[in-house]
Structure 1
Amino acid sequence: MTTIVRQQDLIDSVADALQFISYYHPKDFIQAVHEAYLKEANPAAKDAMAQILINSRMCAEGKRPICQDTGIVTAFVNIGMDVKVEGDMSLDDMINEGVRRAYNHPDNVLRASILADPDGARKNTGDNTPAVIHYKVVPGNKIDIHVAAKGGGSEAKSKFAMLNPSDNVVEWVLNMVPQMGAGWCPPGMLGIGIGGTAEKAMLLAKEALLDPIDIHELREKGAENRAEELRLELMEKVNALGIGAQGLGGLTTVLDVKIKDYPTHAANKAIAIIPNCAATRHAHFTLDGSGPALQTPPNLDDWPEVTREASDSVKRINLDTITKDELVDLKPGDTVLLSGKLLTGRDAAHKRLVDMIEKGEELPVDFTNRFIYYVGPVDPVRDEVVGPAGPTTATRMDKFTRTVLEKTGLIGMVGKSERGPAAIEAIKDNKAVYLMAVGGAAYLVSKAIVGSKTLAFADLGMEAIYEFEVKDMPVTVAVDTTGESVHQTGPKVWAEKIRTQNIEG
């Protein structure tokens, strides 16, 4: 019997699902993070997970985005052969209309991050369209859809290789994960695709991330095939690397490892890794002709009550009075609370600043003894000063760091994850510091921002230079004035502790 699915029902279902996943974590993810939080032995990593859990509850209650990077939308659509879609739009256009409505919802505006002409003008499409859509035609009379919103920081850490048939998959993964750094915002999941062709392996890895976290059940029942054997082995060995939450070192780097495989050519062994970050966002619904398929809100009692532990060792920085001489007291791993006026700027702003410096032009902002925050915030709604405003990946600014530090008077930077060798060397040479904010705690961070105004480059939208007024914004010292990086020392220390003390990773 043929099922008729109305165009509007499909649009409404996509829009509802994308709004839903912007502020509700999957329950299985929250439970897994909480379990990792309870057993974590590294205070810095434990605090990072506390921020993620607190942020998750705040977002669920306030219906605001978990992360300021509200992602590129991917849809996996299984269309039953006995379904007729009633409408005047193509399926692509229907799904993209759902994306458009979700991201422009007035009560919860989501950040538009999609740029057309990716190697040219890179002009923002303004509504986060188009989505990346994958179709299958299957038996049946329903339309089955998974939607996911994937952050750029985690997507950027994807890895692919065409291995020789005799190459060891576990060795390759254990070699790749440290190279991914912390820009994918662990703890999260690894999706791994093995086999098929190059593009099939990548698709398998992305699809694998849609599955629920169930590594505990697999441990209890035992592996029944090669993919399950690999899951168990990689779960243990990846966590034994000691990378930890946000790359600070610790017991939990991954919450689960998902693997899908597919038959492949005798000469090939394609393999792909795609990580899912601490802002894991995906939803599933089925259209059967009875109307839109809307998401059911979770029970917030399932969210753990977590509080951050106050410490006597917390240091405070007054951004309005700090000088370079005071930076020497900051050591890697120190917890710091920032208060005062904090500049912002990321890729586009840094490129424009460096271009102006090279041309000898006067800069629009005085950076002397100032700190800059690498952020592209969500637009505010209602009475908000700013929308969710978590950090962006700092390594993207590495190539600009030396010029900016040496030519502007800037003394501090705040971002997400590690810095590369060139940036660390520039920080050391200029006796500056780099502080790390927690990726995946964007709404929590935004509550420390009590004022905001645009100072320069307003045409860049969320990439403009703002001046935030912050009060007790939580950060961790990641690179000190001597060039010591917690992202280098922390994982080494914890990998050794796990190895020698047999701590469960």
Structure 2
Amino acid sequence: MTRARITGAHFIDSVADALQYVSYYHPPDFITAMARAYAREESPSAKNAIRQILMNARMAAIGHRPICQDTGVVNLFLKVGVEAPIDWTRSPQDMADEATRRAYSLEANPLRNSVVADPLGARRNTRDNTPAMLQTELVAGDKVEVTVSAKGGGSENKAKFAVLNPSDSVADWVVETVAGLGAGWCPPGMIGLGVGGSVDRAMAMAKASLNDPVDIGDLRDRGAATAEEALRLELYDRLNALGIGAQGLGGLTAVLDVKVLSFPTHAASLPVALIPNCVATRHAHFTLDGSGPAEFAPPDLSLWPDLGDGAAEGRRVDLDALDDDLLRSFEPGETLLLSGRMVTGRDAAHRRMIDALDRGEDLPVDLRGRAIYYVGPVDPVGSEVIGPAGPTTSERMDRFTRPLLAASGLRMMIGKAERGPEAVAAIRDHGAVYLIAVGGAAYLVSKAVRSARPVAYEDLGMEAIYEIVVEDMPVTVAVDTRGQSIHVTGPPRWARKI
């Protein structure tokens, strides 16, 4: 009897469908864990952030639009059975790249292309989000198991690695490392650890562990049976006791689970890799056996808590009437609802503006008395004004902040996570403010945008400068005109409470 073959078409169709699926569906176990974190959170700022994340997750699941504007780099984990009836004439990399092109250019739900080629040179966008990142393992069996994940840059950038002495405490190193990560990885999320093996093996284990189910509650109920499980329980408690909270605002939950994979290692070494996964946790698993492409059933949306469709409550602010008295009245941790005109701009646009100032040229847009939003949105579809438009990590703009504030009269910046000391000092010296939108609530934020038009640097694509008009866009005051930062004061306050 001839066995059905696992064809290249099966693989490509399955991966492409999975990438679309994970762009708008969180894993149900992740949503359940987030809902539990929301129920027990006591910090008003952190609770508001988790509420927006859960609202965004439900909206994305219903609307089939991206959870986050950073739709990620494609990561594939292949376990190919050595007896699998494979009928492939192309390499897994070639097929994965075709699936990525197809998924990221789907007209009904286009995903953002974030991959750049020539990383040491021109850093040219590949415009189709290829290549995918593959980890392939030959295993016993006659099937092909595939795990698909889309990993955003904010959490990926916070990956850490160290080779400890065999007598060192892995737990102490992890706690110290996470305490220094800041909020750029968009907590609440997961911490993945790879312990042992070699340098490359440890990093691969840490990345793979993030695709395991959220089950720390079950583990706590039954108790640890291995050293890895004991480490998970210890770190879950110790990391949340840091008081980091959602979005780094200070609160009870920053880590929903800690995953640990280990492997034998050299007697003189203790390699440890740490990779966080952000609130936009996106992954799916399927098995190919020759019967055809994988099928992905929609999850039960009753698992997604319905917290209403309205924005968070807060003080309404007119962006077209910013003045010193108004800015001085903002308090760190306060929720604002912004309405009016602002401009957008990220790394590339900031670099060009600073270059223009250095040449003695005028800026392409008038920023006096204005707000700028650090965002690179997904392309709109249908009647949308803008695609999902969550904030990018603001720290990358720190080096540009002082000269831009000094030359332009800019009054307000909106992004994600903390600012460094240099930027905070510049904000204080110029009487400006820094606000944060919730990372991982991109679709929710986009619904506050009423119009958008490009006004400069259109060749930069999603990094072009746009003028957008918003209505009741929810944000939190992160740095006030006196240079007080909620990311500095919030976590220690909650750590003491915990």
- Using structure 1 for the length normalisation, give the TM-score: 0.97
Q: What letter is aligned with 1:343? A: V
Alignment check: 8 A CA contact 2:287 2:294 kept? yes
| Alpha-carbon distance in structure 1 between the residues aligned to 2:347 and 2:67 | 22
Please tell me the residue identity of whatever aligns with 1:424: V
User: How far does the alpha carbon of each residue in 1:451-499 deviate from its partner, in whole angstroms, 9 at most, with x for none?
Assistant: 000000000000000011100000000000000000010001000001x
Offset, 1:408:
1.0
Shift of the alpha carbon at 1:311?
Answer: 7.9
Question: Secondary structure at 1:228's aligned position in 2?
Answer: helix
Q: What does residue range 305-454 of structure 1 map to in structure 2 within 5 Å?
A: 305-307=306-308, 314-454=314-454
| 1:285 aligned counterpart, secondary structure | strand
How far apart are the structure 1 equivalents of 2:451 and 2:135?
42
Counterpart of 1:205 in structure 2 is 206
Q: Secondary structure at the match of 1:10?
A: helix
2:239 aligned partner, one-letter code:
V
* Residue 258 (structure 1) aligned with residue 259 (structure 2): yes
2:29 matched residue in structure 1: 28
Residue in 2 that maps onto 1:88: 89
How many Å apart are 1:350 and its aligned residue? 0.5
- In the TM superposition, what is the alpha-carbon distance from 1:221 to its structure 2 partner? 1.1
SS at match of 2:349: helix
What is the match of residue 489 of structure 1? 489
8 Å contact kept, 1:34–1:304: yes
The 1:310–1:360 alpha-carbon spacing in structure 2 relative to 1, beyond 3 Å, is: closer
Question: Does 1:172 find its partner at 2:173?
Answer: yes
Identity %: 58
1:460 pairs with 2:449? no
| CA drift at 1:2 | 5.9
Deviation at 1:305, TM superposition (A): 1.3
Residue 320 of structure 2: SS of its match in structure 1? coil
Bigger Cα displacement from structure 2, 86-95 vs 328-337: 86-95
Structure 1's 404 and 202: CA in aligned 2 closer, same or farther, altered over 3 A?
A: same
Partner of 1:474: 474
* Separation in structure 1 between the aligned mates of residue 137 and residue 88 of structure 2, nearest angstrom: 20
Determine the structure 1 residue equivalent to 2:44. Answer: 43
1:503 is matched with none
Residue 437 of structure 1 aligns to which amino acid in structure 2? A
Where structure 2 has 5 or more consecutive residues not aligned to the other structure, the ranges are none
State the one-letter code of the partner of 1:34. A
Q: Is the 8 A contact 1:51 1:308 kept in 2?
A: no
Q: What residue in structure 2 maps to residue 229 of structure 1?
A: 230
Report the AA paired with residue 48 of structure 1: A
Residue pair 1:18, 1:147 contacting (<8 A) in 2 also: yes
Q: Root-mean-square deviation (CA), in Å?
A: 1.2
Per the TM alignment, residue 310 of structure 1 is displaced from its structure 2 partner at its CA by: 8.0
Work out the CA distance in 1 between the residues paired with 2:477 and 2:305: 27
| TM-fit CA distance, 1:80 | 1.1
Q: Say whether the 8 Å CA contact 2:85–2:290 is kept in structure 1.
A: no
Aligned position for 1:269? 270
Per-residue CA deviations over 1:266-318 (Å, capped at 9, x if unaligned) read 11100011001100000001110011012111111121111489887x22211
Give the corresponding residue for 2:10: 9
CA contact under 8 A between 1:3 and 1:141: conserved in structure 2?
Answer: no
Q: What SS is found at the alignment partner of 1:475?
A: strand
1:84-121 deviation per Cα after TM superposition (whole angstroms, max 9, x unaligned): 43243222111111111000000000000000001110
Q: Is the 8 A contact 2:48 2:312 kept in 1?
A: no
Output the CA distance in 2 between the equivalents of 1:87 and 1:239.
47
Distance in structure 1 (CA, Å) of the matches to 2:307 and 2:115: 34
Q: Taking structure 1 as reference, are residues 298 and 405 closer, same or farther at Cα in structure 2, changes over 3 Å only?
A: same
User: Quick check: 1:66–1:441 contact (8 Å CA) kept in 2?
Assistant: yes
Q: Deviations over 1:138-188 (max 9, x none)?
A: 121111000100000000011111111111111111111121111111000
Q: Does the aligned pair in 2 maintain the 1:157–1:180 contact within 8 Å?
A: yes
**Contact conserved, 1:3 with 1:83, CA < 8 A, in 2?**
no
Aligned pair in 2 of structure 1 residues 119, 8: CA closer, same or farther (>3 Å)? same
Distance 1:46 1:465 in 2: 32
Amino acid at match of 1:185: C
Equivalent-residue separation in structure 2 for 1:189 and 1:127 (angstroms): 28
Tell me, yes or no, if the aligned pair for 2:311 and 2:474 is still in contact at 8 Å: no
Q: For the structure 1 residues 126 and 417, does the alpha-carbon distance in structure 2 shift closer, same or farther, using more than 3 Å as the test?
A: same
The Cα of 1:325 is off from its aligned counterpart by: 3.6
Deviates more, 1:354-363 or 1:454-463: 354-363
- CA offset at residue 3 of structure 1? 5.2
Amino acid aligned to 1:388? P
1:141 alignment partner in structure 2:
142
SS, match of residue 201 in structure 2: helix
Aligned amino acid, residue 214 of structure 1: D
Task: Report the Cα distance in structure 2 between the residues aligned to 1:348 and 1:324, rounded to whole angstroms.
Answer: 29
Gaps spanning 5+ residues in structure 1: where?
499-505
1:501 is aligned to none
Structure 1 residues 324 and 85 mapped into 2: Cα distance closer, same or farther (>3 Å)? farther
Task: Indicate how the Cα distance of structure 1 residues 62 and 473 shifts in structure 2: closer, same or farther if over 3 A, else same.
Answer: same
Contact 1:2 / 1:141 at 8 angstroms: preserved in 2? no
The superposition leaves residues 192-239 of structure 1 with CA deviations (integer Å, 9 ceiling, x where unpaired) of: 110011111111100110100000111111111110000000000000
- CA distance in 2 between partners of 1:73 and 1:44 (Å): 32
Q: Find the counterpart in structure 2 of residue 183 from structure 1.
A: 184
Distance, in Å, in 1 between the alignment partners of 2:394 and 2:401 is 10
**CA distance in 2: counterparts of 1:269 and 1:407, whole angstroms:** 50
What amino acid is the match of 2:408? T
Q: For residue 56 of structure 1, what is the aligned residue in structure 2?
A: 57
The amino acid that maps onto 1:260 is L
TM-score where L is the length of structure 2: 0.98
- Tell whether the 8 Å contact from 2:73 to 2:115 is kept in structure 1 after alignment: yes
CA contact (8 A) 1:28 1:212 kept: yes
Contact 2:191–2:257 under 8 Å retained in 1: yes
Match for residue 243 of structure 1?
A: 244
Instruction: Write the distance in 1 (CA, Å) between the matches of 2:320 and 2:219.
Output: 53
Number of equivalenced pairs: 497
Contact 1:3 1:142 in 2 (8 A): no
